[in-house]
């Protein structure tokens, strides 16, 4: 159980490096969503509602991870102080 707890702590604890990586991934997901949609509609002339994969990553998954990581990091730091 200790090994799993360390992996969760490693995954959810934020640092400046992880924050920068999350921000770059978010920008990339937004960029790829817009470029794929523009390519499909503009170049291929296929009418679609939207390209969902990168949109879901950019709008739901990355913000959820970031909020959960902030809460986890704050709780971890507050417990250390006590």
pLDDT digits (tens, 9 = 90+) for 15-39: 999 999 999 999 999 999 889 888 8
11 token code pair: 């995954």
Q: What is the pTM of this model?
A: 0.76
**CA-based nearest residue to 14, from 73, 80, 77:** 73
Distance CA 5, CA 8 (A): 5
Check pLDDT > 70 for residue 13. Answer: yes
Mean of all residue pLDDT scores within the chain: 87
Task: Please give the tally of structural domains in the chain.
Answer: 1
Backbone torsions φ then ψ of 66, nearest 5 degrees: -65, -45
Residue 10: per-residue pLDDT? 84
Q: For residue 10, what are the domain limits?
A: 2-81
Check pLDDT > 80 for residue 68. Answer: yes
Distance CA 70, CA 77 (A): 11
The residues, any chain, with a CB within 8 Å of residue 55's CB and separated by 6 or more, are 29, 33
């Amino acid at each position: 159980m200790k090994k799993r707890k360390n992996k969760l702590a490693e995954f959810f604890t934020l640092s400046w490096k992880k924050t920068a990586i999350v921000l770059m991934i978010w920008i990339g997901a937004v960029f790829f969503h817009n470029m794929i949609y523009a390519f499909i509609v503009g170049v291929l002339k296929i009418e679609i509602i939207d390209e969902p994969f990168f949109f879901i990553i950019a709008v739901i998954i990355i913000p959820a991870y970031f909020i959960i990581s902030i809460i986890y990091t704050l709780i971890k730091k507050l417990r250390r102080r006590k």
